[in-house]
Amino acid sequence: MRNLLPVLVVLAAIIGIWYAAVAPMNIRVALDQAERAGVAVEPAGSLERRDTSVWRLMAANPGQISAGYALERPRLPTPQQVGQELWKTTGEMALRGRAMSKRSLIYHGWITLQSTLWGFLLGTTLGILGAVAIVYSRVVDMSLMPWAIISQTVPIVALAPMIIVLSSQLGIEGRGVPKAIISAYLCYFPVLVGMVKGLRSPAVSQLDLLKTYNASGLQAFFKLRLPASVPYLFTSLKVGIAAALVGTIVGELPTGAISGLGARILIGDQFGTPLAIWAALLAAAILAGLLVTLLDVLQRVTLKRMGMQA
């Protein structure tokens, strides 16, 4: 409970700032609508208003500020509107038995989650294998590590369409595989870096001790390096799964995908439905939170079972 209080305070602050920001963000739209409905606004005409600051507009039309909180297509929706839209496209549809309808965010979230998990699996496997190779081979360390770092400086948004095109050239149907590849591309790096650190974490004296036992390299790996890297692994996994989700959403954005949270964001943008964008964003944030929390619980349970002081 003591941990909850600071989180709630920050949450309250964010929501407060959000609500306060709605008024200036939506005043122009609210005035345009009011003028069309025949209400006198100051100054008249949207061209006229374009050169006036939002603060002036608010001061001149205090009666229209509240209208900004109830727009159908606001520039910035209120948290309440986003919450309602999210509920309408998730819980309410689920209650009506339409959770997997194409209009439901549960359906789109599920599409995104699948790619995320495949990408996470692929990225984690590559990351761990790469780390083992780096730790055991100086040549790999010197050749692979710089490329791994460079790979993360390439903007993924630019890379994503290429991966889609290339994989379709290879005859791969659907977007599942290329999305997972994009997701893995973002996710392998934190796992690689964390595992290299973890596998190298045993002190020199620990390795010397195994040498005095005349232990084999394999024994040193499974009895010392691997268990020693577990806390590092979980920390990287938590970063990795969040990166995998971002990768999947990015893979859905510029590629003409029609399902998935990224596709919802893009469609919401194209059709001018900001509520849909925000609801999809919030859904993605909730999904990320759930995944990271799940790994956190898994970490606690594992470390506790291993006897490490958690």
Say if residues 182 and 251 touch (Cβ distance below 8 Å).
Answer: yes
| C-alpha closest to that of 111 among 268, 280, 232, 303 | 280
Say if residues 247 and 114 touch (Cβ distance below 8 Å).
Answer: no
Which among 1-9, 40-48, 136-144, 199-207 is the span making contact with another protein, rule CB under 8 A? 199-207
Whole-angstrom distance, CA of residue 56 vs CA of residue 79: 25
Residue 253 CA: distances (Å) to CA of 89, 96, 195, 263: 20, 29, 30, 6
Q: Does 308 bind another protein (CB under 8 A)?
A: yes
Contact set for another protein, span 208-237 (CB under 8 A):
208-215, 219, 223-224, 227-228, 230
CB of 227 to another protein, least distance (A): 5
Say if residues 180 and 113 touch (Cβ distance below 8 Å).
Answer: no
CB of 210 to another protein, least distance (A): 7
Under DSSP, is residue 73 helix (H, G, I), strand (E, B) or coil? coil
Q: Does 173 bind another protein (CB under 8 A)?
A: no
**Residue placing its CB nearer to another protein in the complex, 44 or 207:** 207
**Residue placing its CB nearer to another protein in the complex, 220 or 265:** 220
Q: Does 199 bind another protein (CB under 8 A)?
A: no
**Residue placing its CB nearer to another protein in the complex, 101 or 219:** 219
Task: Provide the binding-site residues for another protein, judged by CB under 8 A.
Answer: 203, 205-206, 208-215, 219, 223-224, 227-228, 230, 306-309
